[in-house]
Structure 1
Amino acid sequence: MVERGEDRTDFARIDAMTEADLEQAIADDPDWRDVPRDWHRGAEAVMPRAKVPISIRLDADLVEFFRGQGRGWQTKVNAILRAYANAKQATKAG
């Protein structure tokens, strides 16, 4: 986005923020409200695999909900399905 001139990040404002300002901004961000402080402990870096285009039938209200989340909604659905699959595999293995 930077190369295309589409980046609207105010880097001067961010650079001027103190560590306390950053912590407060994170605390005030509704997207982080329910995220546990130690969320990263189970995080794992993985290389993305190629996506496979499919056709799937979903309830209209479900699609409406995720589309309402904005850009990247299909990626969110993929992440939710990934988390479910990982949980099922862990249950099976454990």
Structure 2
Amino acid sequence: MSKISKRSAIVMPTVAEDKAITAAAKADPYARPLTPKQLQAMVPMKAVRGRPKSENKKLLVSVRYSPEVVAYFKSTGEGWQSRMDGVLQQYVARQSRRA
């Protein structure tokens, strides 16, 4: 036996009702339609939300460190992952100069 949806059907306005709604909206000074320039300037909300995209993208990797190394960096407080990254960047820079 099939289940029948209990949602009410959407009833679209008739042409006359639609014209009356449009006329009322146009007569309302606080409900002015957007100009083509305003429509062009609109951006999807998805593009605005969240953190700004970084130019210096980082890669997500899974790495295993010795417990002593992790304990030391964690003991330095919040932001320890960034400090660890900084130490590794310094190492890479030194190694690059040697080559």
Q: Could you state the TM-score of these two structures normalised by the residue count of structure 1?
A: 0.46
> Bigger radius of gyration, 1 or 2?
2
Q: Could you state the TM-score of these two structures normalised by the residue count of structure 2?
A: 0.44
